[in-house]
């Protein structure tokens, strides 16, 4: 695979690529965390991000000398972290070897705990998915049952793959609530009774003592997935907005997830868009979530349908056993129902107006729209786009792309796998002096 020219043209400042270990544990106390020198870490991250790299690619992409890169490549080959691929490319008459991560190094699992489902994916170190599984589950059943079920499923999937439990080097989990990432704990999650401060990591660690486990908020995890394997590949500044039962955003800043001081950056669902609007479950009035998320769309539509304003919506309501969902409103809007179109447009306008403020504030290169409600389709996207363009500064929208998620229902799992991978290779503090070379 030839590296895209636009990628090569950009020279990364090595300082932006250096990432501190995010979890505040003493080095060496976590299982399966591999200490690398700062240079090795940068090379591993680049190879991970773009799949394959030749030495020339690495030289043109970093500030490092060819000698330094050659030394690091040898060390990484010795550690079996990377492998030489059979594919070679001729550059200027010379054969050029390509390096990629060693798939056989081990396995990494990504778990996406949704309000009503468990999604699991297991990948090898090259990022290739070797197992994928989904089943319905209510997060309200509490951590003991849900985590027990997840561990059982992981064990089954690993064994079905012909592997042993100790081959699992990392587990990333996305959860639908606010997480203090530094300690891996949920903090008063509104839709997860029994999960507040629950020790998720030690619980799973008992089943998988060899795995390095990380927990993050589901929207952050989806943003990470989109950056690594979706529409956001190669985009350094990105906002991923999830529109589902709630509304939240994941922020990618300079190629890394931005969590803020306490882990709740991106909680845009509770930005007020109408001080006199409907009451939100957070206790305030007129939050974006209370006006434009799935339940808000459904309840406004139901009200209108029952008032006889939309025969199409009433028909969906009756044929669904007296339930009207946001996706039905989407379907009715595609069929040309005037009221459904108006409700979708209105929601898009509110979401777009909040995004416009974020665009002016943060100047992202891309906004990715995901979550169940995004299935409503192009009408929602065009309404959001219109509102963003109308309300943002022209310079901020000159190169701005607003697109749907490409990872779709896999966003959480792909993101959780990448989150786990992000935390397996850490910079050894004892070797950090090499960063100044």
Pull the structure tokens for residue 363.
């100047």
Our finding on whether 280 is near Zn ion (CB under 5 A) is yes
| Comparison of 93 and 283: residue with beta carbon closer to Zn ion | 283
Looking at beta carbons only, is 287 or 302 nearer to Zn ion? 287
- Shortest Cβ 275–Zn ion spacing (Å): 12
Q: What residues between 22 and 51 interact with Zn ion by CB under 5 A?
A: none
The reply on whether position 350 binds Zn ion by CB under 5 A is no
Min separation Cβ 290 and Zn ion, Å: 6
- Which residue number, 262 or 284, has a Cβ lying nearer to Zn ion? 284
As measured in angstroms, the least distance from the Cβ of 284 to Zn ion is 5
How far is it, in rounded angstroms, from Cα 267 to Cα 80?
Answer: 40
State both tokens at 340. 């459904």
Smallest distance from Zn ion to CB 437, Å: 49
Nearer to Zn ion (CB atom), residue 106 or residue 286:
286
Q: Closer to Zn ion by CB, 85 or 272: give it.
A: 272
Supply the minimum distance, in Å, between the C-beta of residue 272 and Zn ion: 8
Min CB(115)–Zn ion separation in Å: 17
Closest to Zn ion by CB, 192 vs 287, is 287
- In angstroms, the Cα distances linking 109 to 114, 142, 246 are 16, 21, 26
Residue 390: φ, ψ to 5°:
-70, -35
Q: How many residues bind Zn ion (CB under 5 A)?
A: 5
Burial 130-168 (b: 16+ CB within 10 A, else e): bbeeeeebebeeebeebbeebbebbeebbeeeebeeebb
Binding segment for Zn ion among 54-62, 280-288, 383-391, 417-425 (CB under 5 A)? 280-288
Contact between residue 241 and residue 247 where contact means Cβ atoms under 8 Å apart: yes
Site string for Zn ion, 287-306 (x = CB under 5 A): x-------------------
Which positions ≥6 away from 9 have C-beta within 8 Å?
none
Is position 331 an interface residue for Zn ion (rule: CB under 5 A)?
A: no
Min dist. Cβ of residue 277 to Zn ion (A): 10
Q: Residues 156, 191, 279, 282: which binds Zn ion (CB under 5 A)?
A: 282
Minimum distance, C-beta of residue 104 to Zn ion, in the bound complex (Å): 48
Query: Which residues between 259 and 278 bind Zn ion (CB under 5 A)?
Result: 270
Minimal distance, residue 262 CB to Zn ion, in Å: 18
Distance, CA of 243 to CA of 146 (rounded, Å): 24
Measured from the CB atom, the residue of 170 and 294 that comes closer to Zn ion is 294
- Closer residue to Zn ion (CB): 58 or 298: 298
Shorter beta-carbon distance to Zn ion: residue 88 or 284: 284
For the four alpha carbons of 187, 188, 194 and 197, in that order, the dihedral sign comes to positive
**Applying CB under 5 A, which part among 64-72, 259-267, 286-294, 308-316 lies near Zn ion?**
286-294
CB closer to Zn ion out of 280 and 302: 280
Stretch that binds Zn ion, among 6-14, 17-25, 282-290, 312-320 (CB under 5 A): 282-290
CB of 336 to Zn ion, least distance (A): 33
**Span interacting with Zn ion, options 31-39, 279-287, 313-321, 369-377, rule CB under 5 A:** 279-287
Minimum distance from residue 239 beta carbon to Zn ion (Å) = 19
Q: Which is nearer to Zn ion, 147 or 288 (CB)?
A: 288
Give contact residues for Zn ion (rule: CB under 5 A): 270, 280, 282, 284, 287
């Amino acid at each position: 695979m030839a590296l895209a020219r636009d990628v090569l043209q950009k020279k990364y400042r090595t300082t932006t690529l250096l990432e501190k270990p995010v979890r505040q544990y003493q080095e060496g106390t976590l299982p399966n965390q591999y200490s690398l020198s700062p240079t090795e870490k940068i090379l591993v991250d680049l190879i991970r991000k773009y799949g394959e790299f030749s030495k020339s690619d690495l030289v043109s992409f970093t500030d490092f000398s060819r000698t330094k890169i050659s030394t690091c490549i040898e060390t990484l080959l010795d550690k079996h972290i990377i492998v030489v691929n059979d594919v070679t490319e001729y550059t200027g008459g010379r054969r050029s070897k390509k390096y990629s991560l060693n798939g056989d190094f081990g396995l990494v699992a990504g778990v996406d705990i949704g309000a009503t489902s468990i999604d699991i994916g297991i990948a090898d170190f090259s990022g290739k998915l070797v197992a994928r599984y989904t089943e319905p589950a209510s997060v309200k059943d509490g951590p003991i049952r849900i985590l027990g079920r997840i561990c059982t499923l992981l064990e089954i999937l690993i064994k079905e793959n012909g592997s042993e439990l100790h081959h699992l080097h990392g587990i990333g989990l996305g959860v639908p609530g606010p997480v203090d990432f530094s300690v891996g704990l949920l903090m008063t999650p509104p839709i997860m009774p029994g999960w507040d401060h629950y020790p998720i990591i030690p619980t799973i660690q008992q089943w998988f003592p060899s795995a390095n486990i990380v927990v993050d908020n589901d929207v952050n995890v989806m943003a990470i997935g989109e950056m690594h394997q979706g529409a956001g590949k190669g985009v350094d500044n990105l906002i991923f907005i999830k529109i589902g039962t709630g509304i939240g955003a994941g922020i990618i800043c300079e190629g890394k997830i931005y969590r803020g001081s306490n882990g709740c950056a991106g909680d845009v669902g509770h930005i007020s868009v109408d001080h006199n609007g409907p009451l939100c479950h957070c206790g305030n009035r007129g939050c974006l979530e209370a006006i434009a998320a799935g339940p808000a769309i459904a309840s406004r539509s139901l009200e209108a349908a029952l008032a006889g304003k939309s025969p199409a919506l009433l028909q969906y309501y009756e044929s669904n056993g007296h339930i009207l969902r946001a996706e039905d409103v989407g379907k009715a809007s595609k069929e040309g129902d005037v009221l459904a179109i108006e409700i979708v447009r209105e929601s898009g306008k509110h979401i777009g107006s909040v995004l416009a403020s974020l665009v002016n504030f943060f100047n992202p290169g891309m906004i990715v729209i995901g979550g169940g409600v995004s299935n409503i389709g192009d009408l929602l996207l065009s309404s959001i786009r219109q509102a963003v363009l109308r309300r943002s500064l022209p310079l901020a929208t000159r190169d701005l792309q607003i697109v749907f998620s490409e990872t779709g229902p896999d966003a959480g799992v792909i993101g959780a796998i990448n989150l786990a991978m992000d935390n397996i290779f850490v910079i050894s503090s004892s070797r950090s002096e090499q960063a100044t070379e």
